Structure 1
Amino acid sequence: MQIQESEIETYLSDKNVIRCIFFSEFHHIAGPKITCQVPENYVSKDIFDNASVYIIPKAQLQRSTLTVTLKDCKILGFPVKIDDKKYARNAFYFNLCFVCDAEARTFHYEPVVKKMADFLMALEVENSFLSSVSVDKTRLAGMLRQVMDDLNSHNMCTLTEGTMTTHLKVVRLAPEPKPVYDHQVPIFLDSRDKFFDEQWDLTTQQVLPYIDGFNHVSRIAAEADVDKNLVKSCVQNLVYYDVVTLIPIFQYSNVYATTPKLRILAEDHDLQDRCINYVSKSSRQLAYLRDIYRMYASMIHNTSTRDLCQRLNPQSLRIHERRLIQFGLIEGLIRRVYKYPINVKRDYIDNDENSRDVKYDSVYKYFTGAYSFDEICCHTNHSVAQLEEIIDRDPNVVVLLK
């Protein structure tokens, strides 16, 4: 799945834009001071004085990303010290800082601030670009203005000074992916052919061939002969980079229900085209949108996929029912209705010990309402039919659908 520009623009909302960039240095007589800032006088002397101990900090905090939140603003910097006998006190201290609103998120700017600080340090070592700023601030002011304008407008900026160039880019920071479970099924969000083995570590290369949209994590681990925890880590990494997403195990006994997003399918022509191409049995004879929509709309509680297929016969409609389910889950048009067995009589003891097989007893610890059929089947190696047989034979077990 491609990262859309609109996603980045939403993430970098108005309250998260850069309000000011300033360059600060330690003067051997005057102490910490702002040498150059754009726009001018955005950060007052009082604000700077309150935060200066963190803007030009002690040696232990040099080359560390520091964020200071004050009443009206948040200052993000990466203090740098250059040791050289040519400077007063044998060192040059500086910090290039971004200023945002106090409530803004600035984590996504940290790599940019560090990279720009390294660029400025290289310029200083090469030709004393920074230590001469006190005399002529024009070039540095122009550079800071370009960075602020370009990052706020395009989330990227290219700086060139003399023979040196650097590229700055604000990247989308996705939230940490949720834990991956044994019963979940990874599925590619784009064609598998677009990814090359050289992009991945050896373990991921071993796992990728078994990701087909139907194999769950436990089965992938078994077929790839890879430790299950390693498979989970690989899949979690692929989820983070939007290479795969996770969907439930497909079985004809599954029940699905539509979501409010289904109405988008009736209005969005691009979504319609992608849906038709994805769920059609053949690229030469495409399914009709009305038949696809009717199948989705018929997914209601207490109607299994098997019942739906027997009633509507998707094969005759040129529809691949498994891919129909996959597309609906990926796009959020439908959701899985899970079954959770609950033993309402937890202290249940069968008077006839021989009437219950030991393998049946092993599943009862999962009948708490916290485990779905998918999870229980993966943990116990029971099939859905076996699990339903156990539940049907025991009047003390009820099934919650949600």
Structure 2
Amino acid sequence: MLTQENNCSNSYKLENIGANIGKEGIIRCIFLSEFHATAGSKITCQTPINFISKHAFDLINAYILPKRELERQVLTVNTLNIKIVGYPVKIQCEKYARNAFYFNLCFVCDHYCRSVQYEPIVKKLSEFLIMMEMEVNFLSNEDYRPRIQQMLNKIITDLNETRVCTITEEETTVFLKIVKIAEDPPEVTDYEVPMLKQEFENMSLDQWDLTTQQVLPFINSVYHVAKISALSDVENALVKACIQNLCYYDVVELVPLFKYSNVYMCTRNLQKLARNQNFAQECLKYVAMNEDESLPTLYSVFQLYSQMTHGVNLKTLCIRLSPRNNNINERKLVSFGLKHNLIRLINKYPIFTGSIPNVRQKLYNGLNHFDEICCSTGLSTQKLEELIDSDTNVTVLMK
């Protein structure tokens, strides 16, 4: 429980919580707790002062200074509408009252915010405090309390404002930095196409491991994962792991396989083309077949995107509007649209409605779309469509 004063000063609007769940939040408080030989568990220093009340600490101190099995491990406690990240430490030494000194430096943030980015900092600071305690009794000597308080004030201010902080005590300097930790990369499937981001298209291969060096030359926004595996002569599982790693480092992104038989549908994000001039210019440069010629007009690009709808495949659209006559590369148009969520692919899902399916028909379960089935069976899309069109026991859903 927070004090009444801080409940008011640090309150948040309930309607904003949903939008911020899982996002990085600021550090609300930093506190240092210790186990005193006579007074028991207590907060020695904290900033802001009295952010965590004594009553609240009494409710959670069992998790702040836990049993020895949890010592020297990063622990996160989510309770009382706050999230606490700590690193409980025990220093064994005969000079202490009970032959040991227990402490925990904790960061506090909102309960709905992401806190994993603070874990390395909490651990690093705790290791620094261990060293300082062993050298000069920095934590157990009350004469150092004002300096500890100043240190905590500096850490919370600098990390919240600039995400970096430098601490100097005695002859030791510690550099702290909040590093953005990316989300877990998506699972990579055989039928997806990895596409290099523009800023990495001309990068050197020397900085990558041997597997990535074999795979990267075949990432061209055209080949799907299964084909890259075959062309690079690298095991399929290794190619998937490699591409997943490149996704994590934001070097590539995954898009659906490009086919003229594909059906796309524009999304509400298409209005961004009309409202954002810089974004529109970026789009025109990207989709141009030849940048040395006049760029395509926004009208012609917008017309192509806006006519993507159910029942109209890309081939029909190209015949109707002749994008290349307007200096538009339809492959790049689709890639840009998928990348920025201006359009989405309408997948076809076959469902077998007969009684006894054969091996291929077992894949027609309404969960596997055409690209998945083609990769599993080795059939071309055209051949699969012919087989399904001639099979009266199969119904196709599009979504």
TM-score interval for Structure 1 and Structure 2 normalised by the shorter chain: 0.7 to 0.9
CA contact (8 A) 2:21 2:113 kept: no
Query: Relative to structure 1, is the Cα distance of residues 149 and 183 closer, same or farther in structure 2, using a 3 angstrom cutoff?
Result: same
Residue 287 (structure 1) aligned with residue 296 (structure 2): yes
Name the structure 1 match of 2:68. 59
Which of 245, 255, 259 does residue 253 from structure 2 map onto? 245
Superposition pairs of residues 119-268 of structure 1, within 5 angstroms: 119-132=128-141, 134-193=142-201, 195-268=203-276
Q: CA deviation at 1:238?
A: 2.0
CA contact (8 A) 1:340 1:367 kept: yes
Q: Quick one: distance in 1 between partners of 2:245 and 2:343?
A: 25
Q: CA deviation at 1:300?
A: 1.6
Name the structure 1 match of 2:87. 78
Q: CA deviation at 1:86?
A: 4.1
CA contact (8 A) 1:344 1:398 kept: yes
Superposition pairs of residues 370-389 of structure 1, within 5 angstroms: 370-389=367-386
Which of 363, 366, 371 does residue 369 from structure 1 map onto? 366
Name the structure 2 match of 1:314. 323
Name the structure 1 match of 2:6. none
Q: Quick one: distance in 2 between partners of 1:33 and 1:299?
A: 64
Q: Quick one: distance in 1 between partners of 2:171 and 2:277?
A: 49
CA contact (8 A) 1:18 1:100 kept: yes
Which of 102, 108, 116 does residue 99 from structure 1 map onto? 108
Structure 2: segments with no counterpart, 5+ residues: 1-18
Query: Relative to structure 1, is the Cα distance of residues 131 and 207 closer, same or farther in structure 2, using a 3 angstrom cutoff?
Result: same
CA contact (8 A) 1:344 1:397 kept: yes
Query: Relative to structure 1, is the Cα distance of residues 169 and 10 closer, same or farther in structure 2, using a 3 angstrom cutoff?
Result: farther
Deviations 1:349-370 (A, max 9, x none): xxxxxxxxxxxx5422222222
Residue 33 (structure 1) aligned with residue 30 (structure 2): no
**SS of 1:266's equivalent?**
helix
Q: Quick one: distance in 1 between partners of 2:70 and 2:376?
A: 49
- What TM-score results when the alignment is normalised by the length of structure 2? 0.87
Deviations 1:248-284 (A, max 9, x none): 1011111111011001111112211211111111221
Deviations 1:31-69 (A, max 9, x none): 332221112222222222332233223322210122334
Which of 393, 396, 400 does residue 393 from structure 2 map onto? 396
CA contact (8 A) 1:11 1:172 kept: no
Which of 48, 53, 60 does residue 44 from structure 1 map onto? 53
Q: Quick one: distance in 1 between partners of 2:152 and 2:315?
A: 63
Question: What's the % identity of the aligned pairs?
Answer: 47
Residue 110 (structure 1) aligned with residue 119 (structure 2): yes
Name the structure 2 match of 1:339. 348
Query: Relative to structure 1, is the Cα distance of residues 161 and 135 closer, same or farther in structure 2, using a 3 angstrom cutoff?
Result: closer
Q: Quick one: distance in 2 between partners of 1:319 and 1:297?
A: 15
Q: Quick one: distance in 1 between partners of 2:316 and 2:249?
A: 37
Query: Relative to structure 1, is the Cα distance of residues 377 and 73 closer, same or farther in structure 2, using a 3 angstrom cutoff?
Result: closer
Counterpart of 1:143, as a letter, is: M
| Aligned residue pair count | 380
Q: Quick one: distance in 1 between partners of 2:386 and 2:90?
A: 72
Name the structure 1 match of 2:32. 23
CA contact (8 A) 1:151 1:169 kept: yes
Q: Quick one: distance in 1 between partners of 2:21 and 2:146?
A: 33
